[in-house]
Amino acid sequence: MTERNEIVRLGKITAKRNKYGMLGFRKYLISVEFDEPFNRRTGEKSWEFMVSSGFYEDIVIGARVKGIFDQAPEGLRPITCVI
């Protein structure tokens, strides 16, 4: 359940990748393209979310997801992504 100030947008996973961060720790990222833009000024529709290694292995590219956003002065700020 979302709080009153949170906004939900639907999208699709377009890519997944991993990279090494500081101190050699591996980071797992997924790219999500949303159906509607969340930044009104730039028209931005995609965002990268960091996920855990176990979740990363189970992700299928093309899966539909639900993104939860918080209202910010520049438009919407991504909080999390739910499959």
Q: What is the Cα Rg of the chain in Å? A: 13
| Tens of pLDDT, residue by residue, the chain (83 residues) | 545 567 888 999 999 999 998 888 899 999 999 998 877 778 888 988 888 888 889 989 999 998 888 877 666 777 777 76
- Give domain limits for the chain: 6-82
Report CA 70 to chain centroid distance, whole Å: 13
Does domain 6-82 fall into CATH 3.90.550?
no
- Model pTM score: 0.77
Q: What are phi and psi of 32, to 5 degrees?
A: -120, 130
Residue 26, both tokens = 């591996």
